[in-house]
Structure 1
């Protein structure tokens, strides 16, 4: 990083409560996947409430490379995707578009159904811990795909129609569950997936596929059954709102002593977060159009918190909330059970004046994969502490927004480097900061 790299730097003058209202649109963890699902249809699909974020642009480019016509619809935030002329794409073009995202691996099943082959380059994404792509390739092999690993990526073939199968995931991975859904719907016979992820975004993807003609059932024991069909149509669907972005702005209100109305935020998908928010001392009011989040005044409460797969406390909620916990009275305990490296962002917070100690032990009662593997995956946050502005380099999407919150809550000015990474999942965040009265500028 040099002083000339100003295009990706933000100057943040902290100490001003964020106040006002902003709007969140469709979920980053649903919209790109629903766009991939359009590949499976015989006719056009319409997806509404689409945010203008980088992951959407990446998938749009990849769809177009494969012959899908993508255009804006009649209403703002609507995409119309026509897959009637799906074709193979050049390896170099795929690699150029896909290097910054992990979404391309979800193209495998649809492309195997449409073309009989697919190519997946090396995958990007946030460096927050292991996200083994082996889950995906193991799943595809069970459906009958042949996979050839080469220097530039993975080549997949399906010389015959893919076959339904029984799959048990070793961990309820969201990505692997999506892979099974997008592959099983046109596979021959029944697919039974156990230990599946059941996040709201997974349910919304199932709704999309059901609208296309898929037959999918969800049981209460994390079992999903998909009966393959011979044909799928296009869909018309409005994406569910982004509960992860909504929670980020809620934590920003809490950390800065602010008051933010998040239009589009939905209570049902955020119930677990809202309970924790209230325990910390945050106030919220659910309205017809969204949720108002505010710091009611007085001290915040320390808490014990463990992340978990849905319906537990989402790992993407953890990092922004930890910034708010630096302002709570007493010792807060955070046990991260989903991504082993997600607490690495706290080092920069300590340099700003926070007191956060990391531990390799499991500081919580939830069974954890990391307890005996030497990962710093538990944290003790001592507060309240006065944060001071500093030099911050964004490590990943949620960590990046958390640094932004810390800079806004701190005294003095911070230089936040790598700010463009936030565009992966937060639509028009600079404009939203302006609406909330944040004092930010490009150097």
Structure 2
């Protein structure tokens, strides 16, 4: 991939103006990349629709091409066509060059073991929001019969001398990535796989739907147990991606923080119900329509809330960062207890520099102790408001934190300089153009 021009990696923002207008949200970042990897399981053509034009899609497309797969991306139409009729081993150096931009390569393991008999996984990248170990992934592959060589100097070499076979797997925490790994590796394994403690996010369920279209046998129980009965072969799929509930909530938070009014076309109620309840408690208004959701600040004071992030169907961790910016404008004391990632509050430091009153605590300030209790992580935040924000120079730390800083700059009085905005391109399609459409004063 081409390097980012530093001149184009800075956004100048003059805040203090309500955002208003209409924008469109397409397919979920946390799903489309996994569905693209799933296409590698079948020696045929797959078509994925409602695909956003984001960097993660570009990264996965390039990784697939490195493995001899034909990928045709039509960004305006939001359609990606993947022909995996032929697959080849990629050059280690080429894979390593791309791996720093994404954690996706680990999910190539299962499909490559079936198609090529081996897989190479380089060092993994991703946002620095806390420990995201791949031990769950590797343990899953071992239980399915893979041989994992972690001593390989450039990464991890994985083989399956006797093929993959079904197994009983338990996740001590419902990891989304490890659940995806199990699904992609077990659908063609010999025998039955039982995965208990699985993640059941909507993006996971959409991946299950894709695999079922391909010919997989998968059932999901109410106790977070996923049962997979291996099949002999799979075929290509045609599928429309579910909308991005994280991006929709981010724009909703921007409307609340800036006293704005934003119609998010493509947003859907069912996967956002937990967010919508909190949005309403804070004092935001929304109108659910057939084609999207309108979010707006009705005037008057916003109300403080207590939020505890959790796995689905709880309050999503990716929702809390943009919403914290809105909570700096609420009247009173709000509490956010982060239970998914231990280091997700680093993004609040620039908010404090802009004038927010936010205190971080190592204690669990929630209804129940979480797995980070007594582990010395600042994983609870107390936000006191309302506090006026002043424009600052801000360096983007990660994808969601970066968009949150952008919301803060739009909320603040005076000019801000947001640096490293190319990181936001990983998950927010055309966000600069959308800001212009909403009346933001940016350059």
1:47 aligns with 2:55: no
Structure 1 residue 356, shift from structure 2 partner:
0.3
CA distance in 2, matches of 1:106, 1:72: 21
Provide the residue aligned with 2:175 in structure 1. Answer: 173
Matched-pair contact (CA < 8 Å) for 1:214–1:228: yes
Matched-pair contact (CA < 8 Å) for 1:144–1:163: yes
CA distance in 2, matches of 1:191, 1:426: 35
Matched-pair contact (CA < 8 Å) for 1:330–1:384: yes
1:402 aligns with 2:428: no
Q: How does 1:359-438 map to 2 (within 5 A)?
A: 359-438=361-440
Provide the residue aligned with 2:289 in structure 1. Answer: 287
Structure 1 residue 367, shift from structure 2 partner:
3.5
Structure 1 residue 75, shift from structure 2 partner:
7.8
Structure 1 residue 6, shift from structure 2 partner:
2.7
1:205 to 204, 207, 210: 207
Structure 1 residue 148, shift from structure 2 partner:
1.1
**Change over 3 Å in CA distance of 1:5–1:77 after alignment to 2:** closer
CA distance in 1, matches of 2:168, 2:390: 54
| CA RMSD, 1 decimal | 1.0
CA distance in 1, matches of 2:162, 2:22: 53
Matched-pair contact (CA < 8 Å) for 2:13–2:418: yes
Q: Note the residue ranges of structure 1 that are not aligned, 5 or more in a row.
A: none
Matched-pair contact (CA < 8 Å) for 1:69–1:81: yes
What is the TM-score when the length of structure 1 is the normalising length? 0.98
3-state SS in 2 of match to 1:155: strand
3-state SS in 1 of match to 2:34: helix
Stretches of 4+ aligned residues off by more than 3 angstroms: 72-75
What is the TM-score when the length of structure 2 is the normalising length? 0.98
**Change over 3 Å in CA distance of 1:75–1:211 after alignment to 2:** farther
Q: How does 1:208-247 map to 2 (within 5 A)?
A: 208-247=210-249
1:111 aligns with 2:112: yes
Structure 1 residue 99, shift from structure 2 partner:
1.4
Matched-pair contact (CA < 8 Å) for 1:98–1:123: yes
3-state SS in 1 of match to 2:348: helix
Provide the residue aligned with 1:84 in structure 2. Answer: 85
Structure 1 residue 74, shift from structure 2 partner:
11
Matched-pair contact (CA < 8 Å) for 1:40–1:232: yes
- Deviation string 1:137-187 (CA, Å, 9 cap, x unpaired) is 111011111111222100011112200100000100000000000000000
Matched-pair contact (CA < 8 Å) for 1:260–1:294: yes
Provide the residue aligned with 1:305 in structure 2. Answer: 307
Structure 1 residue 7, shift from structure 2 partner:
2.2
Matched-pair contact (CA < 8 Å) for 1:42–1:231: no
Provide the residue aligned with 2:336 in structure 1. Answer: 334
3-state SS in 2 of match to 1:319: helix
Matched-pair contact (CA < 8 Å) for 2:146–2:163: no
**Change over 3 Å in CA distance of 1:119–1:74 after alignment to 2:** closer
Provide the residue aligned with 1:182 in structure 2. Answer: 184
Provide the residue aligned with 1:22 in structure 2. Answer: 23
3-state SS in 2 of match to 1:328: coil
Provide the residue aligned with 2:69 in structure 1. Answer: 68
Matched-pair contact (CA < 8 Å) for 1:165–1:192: yes
- Deviation string 1:18-38 (CA, Å, 9 cap, x unpaired) is 000000000000000000000
| Segment of structure 1 superposing worse, 158-167 or 267-276 | 158-167
- Deviation string 1:72-118 (CA, Å, 9 cap, x unpaired) is 46980111101010110000111112211001100000000111100
CA distance in 2, matches of 1:366, 1:398: 25
Provide the residue aligned with 2:347 in structure 1. Answer: 345
Paired residues, what number? 438
CA distance in 1, matches of 2:428, 2:316: 17
3-state SS in 1 of match to 2:384: strand
